[in-house]
Structure 1
Amino acid sequence: MNQSGILNGIEDEIKPFLYKYIQARSLTYTPAERDAERFLMEELGADPYFQAHPEYFGTCEIEGDPFQRRVSYAMVRGQGNDAVVFVHHNDVVDVEDYKLLKEYAFSPDELEKELAGIRESLPEDAGRDLESGEWLFGRGGCDMKGGGAIQFSLLRRYAQLPDFRGNVIVIAVPDEENLSAGMRRAVQLLAELKDRYGFNYKIMFNSEPHQRKNPDVGIISEGSVGKLLPFVYVRGYLSHIGKVYEGLNPVSLLSEIVRRTELNVDFSDVVGNECAPPPTWLYMKDSKKHYDVSMPLSASGCFSVLTLDQSPQSLLNKVKSVCEEAFECVVADMNDSYRRFCETAEPVASELPWKSRVEDFDTLLREAAEAYGDRFREAYERKRKDALARVASGETDLIECNFEIVDFVFEYIDDFSPRVIYGLIPPYYPNVSNVFFEGLEPSVADLYEKLDQFAAENFRQHYEREYFYTGICDLSFTSIRGGADIRKALERSMPLLGEYFDLPIEAIEKISMPCMNIGPWGKDFHKMTERVYKEDLYERTPMLLNRAVELILNGGQPLKGVLNGQGKKDDCNINAG
């Protein structure tokens, strides 16, 4: 495929940049994430444009971050205030699945040779791709430093163009694979840049990889699925196993709640012809620390719900309803069992006392505060601070921490009757899509169709449109609907909202913009056989992203300019605005 104009020879920039980017072993939620930041600052600091304009690149700190991670950014400023934002994450998942090949995971060429030696043990599809030579293997090459290398290579090309119209900003964030602390800080950075330079944000492009069913049909996403992590805590009533009707086993009730929610498509909202996957449970545990002949006092768990249009409160309403139905069902089954038991055995009571009781976390919190006042409030804050410190140090995780806090609140509850408490555990990803925007500018509203036409004309491929990227990504923080209601719902239901996880709603509302994911074709994300298609990486995706910039910032006209060698600018007059 012949490329012309400002993209000529861009493969010779993307490839070495990507190889060095991959070698920055930025494993998620570790101090090593800063290796990517250091690489970027060194690479950009050597570029003539950023040497001339050091104020146009840098890092910003994520306040209170346990590893002192920072968001990296760089921008090319041109004529006017219109701006396009590129974003990608540079953290990668661990390499435990590489086993004896761990040392090669961050060196694509060496890894390819080692994988060839175990070709017969690879999945058939991965083996064929390896033999073809058309795919680049290695941790992070696909998810998603390949997209990042494309973005930075395009930015450096734009830096060489005289009379460039508009502004392009590249944001590289850590922590996407965990809590998106990087993107939540990046939103605040974009709000600060908007104040400083008066930017008019037109659209944000992410470059996460996409998967394909048909090799000749790619995917462009105009939004991203949301994610919520509801928790359920069941407080039972403890008894000896020989006196089962004197107690209420929380495992039974939690199991019924799980049964009614696992893969329940009633939780899957629909937008157009797209449907969110149904929920699945990620964690379930009772409170027993060792074996004895008593029932557990409590049982707890959480499940993942992907959303297209649901708000946190609408989902919580569904959770409450299911918990109430499950509670009533379990009590009815217990009473039926008890009646049958009493037909042949001595009754232990005239009737069982259990009644359905389901409440959100805020109701439980207020009950403890009303009973014990400042004594509880002060103890609660100490407990919460201590628990979060242990999360930051790696001694525990957010799920265990959440239930530890709920357990603590129950120590100040004088009512011993069974109940169900529900709420949310971080993180929360809002659902976003261009379909929710009213009055989109024509350049954005028609962008997918024009890019699909461009792809058909230039490399005879078709790109399908989806309104939600279902892999969960940082585009979730580009806009928000009903921010005040979301804040209220999170405050009532999320014990860990605050210092460790917060949603910058005001900043999101300030920078609110449409979004789109345009990334290369990839396979086996997070697996040892993670790989990205070279033609997409070096040619097609750069062409699509560049065409998108031309359509948004340059009235659809091709960007023109004289480039000197491999991305090094000559003495052309850069309009820094």
Structure 2
Amino acid sequence: MMIGTTDLTGIDTEIDLVLRRLIAVNSETDTAGEKDCEAFLTSYLSDIPYFQENRELFGSYAVEEDPLHRAVCWALIKGRGASTVVLIHHYDVVGIEDFKNLREFAFQPDALAEALESIKEELNPEARADLSSGDYLFGRGSADMKAGGAIQLALLKRYSEIKELEGNILLLSLPDEEKLSAGMRAAVDLLDELKEKHGLHYVYGFNSEPHQRRIDGRGLISEGSVGKILSFVSVRGFLSHVGKVFEGFNPVHLLSEIVAETELSPLFSDWINGEAAPPPTWLNLRDRKENYDVSMPLSAGGCISILTLDSDPRNVLKLLRSSAEKSFETVIDRMNSSYTEFCRRTGRTTEKLPWKSLVMTYAELLDEAEEHGGENFRKAYTDERKSIEKRIKEGELDFIEGTFLLTEFVFHFISDLSPRVVLGFVPPYYPNVSNFLLKDLTQSQVMVADRIREFSLENFSVEYEKESYYTGISDLSYLSLKDSRGVQSELKRDMPLYGDAYSIPLEKIEALSMPCVNIGPWGKDFHKLTERVYKPDLYIQTPALLDHAIRFILEQEK
């Protein structure tokens, strides 16, 4: 079959040309630069003869209500039958703050390499050696993930030249992966629409995020992607003057204990088939005082990032609640111990402090406010939520600050002033996905990763490991799902801003569910000054491996 004889001669030159042009576009997340990259991609696709003859088979799909008016760039090559592979990559990159006085070279690989050469003694030994070797291409986005995008685009161009293609190939180039994955969430609707319009049957999804090597000389293939849950913890204290500390309850004290209890805690790490999710870490933490005075803060809050392999939001909230309850009791015991010692030293009569542990979910807080405030609360809450959502859409607030503001508003309708902890979720939410979680896969779908490994060993003498989860977080999270209704219910209950400002088409994802693999070039130091991609992987090995996998699945699933 023609797809089995794809000619990759000279594709290294095409990849290099596309990649350098992609890197040259500063497409930092949440900036107008993403639109500039979209314009480049549209221009690139429109220059391919196949799409000049089939203009209805490529285009831009708008991200709904996006303040930056970003869009998914897509292109479909139609062949025989309904079987379709989906190639995804993102075109946004993280910022360049760490480049400091080398910022002007961040998007110029050759100029950056020269500039790094002048400061190479400041680099770590591995980066210094890689720079001297000439085997790596440096620059922001060189690895994460414009290299993978360039590989997919170059392959797409080759497939467009095949006259009798077996199956169909759909490419999705996505904005905003580094922040909220607005591009991939919009692409789910696009996938659904294209499926209906063209009679497509999605048999496999391929992402080309870079991989990091755990063992020298051995690559890495991922048959899924880790999930991510961003949980918020809001602690309400009890005000007092700093000269009367035992009359108050400092929320910073309790929040600090919760952080100590949960930061890097293995209790939150899912363990499956010898793989483990990296333990959680706190990404945001502060008291909620706007100005200095000599009172304790009334509230404090923070957000903890929890990566998952098979846990859902309900499981995570249960674990977090248990940790918060333990921390609350620890703080109360510590305060009582301190107060007892204070009373002993000052000759006062000792009595227990009045504080009791109280931990609840955001949904439970809402129920309490509604019980006390009734219709007045419901109307006021709806208005306040709409106001916060509007400010988020206009870029005045982010989701974290908006969540805490809405939580604090609810407290206006709570009559019980006792200290408490409120738990919930903040966007974004990434479901965990892995092929072994999917039922009814065909034998060929199960074999894709192993075929890639065999092909690499036979043709390049490079061994590849196989893992069930890519732990770097990726848009693959939106290619399959189980129990969409259960997840939707939990997000609606305990993610305060889930709905108009942020949503996920969960039921569509479950309906479209397809197996997936991440196969991308070897890269190092993602999001750092010395970000780089390995040239032999970029130009030769990864394109061949991805092409082989695409050929295999389309030939088997015809």
Do these two structures clear the TM 0.5 threshold for a shared fold by scoring above it? yes
1-structure distance, mates of 2:516, 2:306:
22
The equivalent residue for 2:250 is 249
User: AA paired with 2:328?
Assistant: F
1:350-394 deviation digits (Å, cap 9, x = unpaired): 542211111111111122223223332232223223323333333
Q: For structure 2, list consecutive stretches of 5 or more residues without a partner in the other structure.
A: none
2-structure distance, mates of 1:98, 1:399:
27
User: Between Structure 1 and Structure 2, how many residues are aligned?
Assistant: 555
Q: Please, which moves more after superposition, 119-128 or 91-100?
A: 119-128
Pair 1:436 & 2:430 matched: no
Answer yes or no: is the 8 Å Cα contact 2:79–2:166 preserved in 1: yes
Q: Using a 3 Å threshold, how does the CA distance of structure 1 residues 102 and 245 change in structure 2: closer, same or farther? A: closer
How far is the alpha carbon of 1:55 from its aligned partner? 0.8
The equivalent residue for 2:338 is 337
User: AA paired with 2:231?
Assistant: P
2-structure distance, mates of 1:126, 1:336:
52
How far is the alpha carbon of 1:339 from its aligned partner? 3.6
1-structure distance, mates of 2:291, 2:347:
31
2-structure distance, mates of 1:244, 1:114:
55
User: AA paired with 1:522?
Assistant: G
How far is the alpha carbon of 1:345 from its aligned partner? 4.3
Q: Classify the secondary structure of the residue corresponding to 2:81.
A: strand
How far is the alpha carbon of 1:54 from its aligned partner? 0.6
1:397-418 deviation digits (Å, cap 9, x = unpaired): 2222211111111112111111
The equivalent residue for 2:500 is 499
1-structure distance, mates of 2:507, 2:211:
31
Q: Please, which moves more after superposition, 193-202 or 71-80?
A: 193-202
Answer yes or no: is the 8 Å Cα contact 1:285–1:301 preserved in 2: yes
How far is the alpha carbon of 1:180 from its aligned partner? 0.4
The equivalent residue for 2:387 is 386
How far is the alpha carbon of 1:470 from its aligned partner? 0.5
User: AA paired with 1:393?
Assistant: E
Q: Classify the secondary structure of the residue corresponding to 2:144.
A: helix
Q: Classify the secondary structure of the residue corresponding to 2:146.
A: helix
The equivalent residue for 1:153 is 154
Pair 1:414 & 2:415 matched: yes
Q: Classify the secondary structure of the residue corresponding to 1:167.
A: strand
1:283-302 deviation digits (Å, cap 9, x = unpaired): 22112233322221111111
Pair 1:479 & 2:480 matched: yes
The equivalent residue for 1:139 is 140
User: AA paired with 2:296?
Assistant: M
Answer yes or no: is the 8 Å Cα contact 1:269–1:307 preserved in 2: yes
How far is the alpha carbon of 1:550 from its aligned partner? 1.2
* Mapping of residues 157-172 of structure 1, within 5 Å: 157-172=158-173
Q: Classify the secondary structure of the residue corresponding to 1:502.
A: coil
The equivalent residue for 2:509 is 508
* Mapping of residues 143-542 of structure 1, within 5 Å: 143-343=144-344, 345=346, 351-542=352-543
How far is the alpha carbon of 1:241 from its aligned partner? 2.3
User: AA paired with 1:297?
Assistant: L
How far is the alpha carbon of 1:445 from its aligned partner? 0.8
User: AA paired with 1:438?
Assistant: K
How far is the alpha carbon of 1:4 from its aligned partner? 8.2
The equivalent residue for 1:565 is none
How far is the alpha carbon of 1:106 from its aligned partner? 1.4
Answer yes or no: is the 8 Å Cα contact 1:75–1:155 preserved in 2: no
User: AA paired with 1:194?
Assistant: K
1-structure distance, mates of 2:123, 2:352:
62
Q: Classify the secondary structure of the residue corresponding to 1:7.
A: coil
How far is the alpha carbon of 1:231 from its aligned partner? 1.1
How far is the alpha carbon of 1:123 from its aligned partner? 2.3
How far is the alpha carbon of 1:213 from its aligned partner? 3.5
1-structure distance, mates of 2:29, 2:498:
21
Q: Using a 3 Å threshold, how does the CA distance of structure 1 residues 497 and 347 change in structure 2: closer, same or farther? A: farther
Q: Classify the secondary structure of the residue corresponding to 2:556.
A: coil
Answer yes or no: is the 8 Å Cα contact 2:485–2:507 preserved in 1: no
Q: For structure 1, list consecutive stretches of 5 or more residues without a partner in the other structure.
A: 558-577
2-structure distance, mates of 1:381, 1:31:
32
How far is the alpha carbon of 1:349 from its aligned partner? 8.4
User: AA paired with 2:59?
Assistant: G
User: AA paired with 1:34?
Assistant: K
User: AA paired with 1:338?
Assistant: Y
1:250-274 deviation digits (Å, cap 9, x = unpaired): 1121122111111110111101100
Q: Using a 3 Å threshold, how does the CA distance of structure 1 residues 101 and 345 change in structure 2: closer, same or farther? A: closer
* Mapping of residues 105-124 of structure 1, within 5 Å: 105-124=106-125
User: AA paired with 2:150?
Assistant: A
The equivalent residue for 1:6 is 7
Answer yes or no: is the 8 Å Cα contact 1:227–1:307 preserved in 2: yes
2-structure distance, mates of 1:137, 1:47:
28
Q: Please, which moves more after superposition, 92-101 or 491-500?
A: 92-101
Q: Using a 3 Å threshold, how does the CA distance of structure 1 residues 106 and 340 change in structure 2: closer, same or farther? A: closer
Q: Please, which moves more after superposition, 441-450 or 112-121?
A: 112-121
Q: Classify the secondary structure of the residue corresponding to 2:284.
A: strand
How far is the alpha carbon of 1:242 from its aligned partner? 2.5
How far is the alpha carbon of 1:195 from its aligned partner? 1.2
1-structure distance, mates of 2:324, 2:6:
61
User: AA paired with 1:180?
Assistant: S
2-structure distance, mates of 1:444, 1:264:
35
How far is the alpha carbon of 1:98 from its aligned partner? 1.9
User: AA paired with 2:437?
Assistant: F
Q: Classify the secondary structure of the residue corresponding to 2:427.
A: coil
How far is the alpha carbon of 1:118 from its aligned partner? 2.6
* Mapping of residues 553-572 of structure 1, within 5 Å: 553-555=554-556
User: AA paired with 2:267?
Assistant: D
Q: Please, which moves more after superposition, 330-339 or 253-262?
A: 330-339
Q: Please, which moves more after superposition, 329-338 or 187-196?
A: 329-338
| Identity fraction in percent | 51
Answer yes or no: is the 8 Å Cα contact 1:135–1:533 preserved in 2: yes
How far is the alpha carbon of 1:347 from its aligned partner? 5.4
Q: Using a 3 Å threshold, how does the CA distance of structure 1 residues 350 and 461 change in structure 2: closer, same or farther? A: closer
2-structure distance, mates of 1:518, 1:489:
32
Q: Classify the secondary structure of the residue corresponding to 1:439.
A: coil
How far is the alpha carbon of 1:556 from its aligned partner? 9.9
Q: Using a 3 Å threshold, how does the CA distance of structure 1 residues 343 and 123 change in structure 2: closer, same or farther? A: closer
Answer yes or no: is the 8 Å Cα contact 1:191–1:510 preserved in 2: no
The equivalent residue for 1:552 is 553
* Mapping of residues 62-141 of structure 1, within 5 Å: 62-141=63-142
How far is the alpha carbon of 1:244 from its aligned partner? 2.2
Answer yes or no: is the 8 Å Cα contact 1:245–1:348 preserved in 2: no
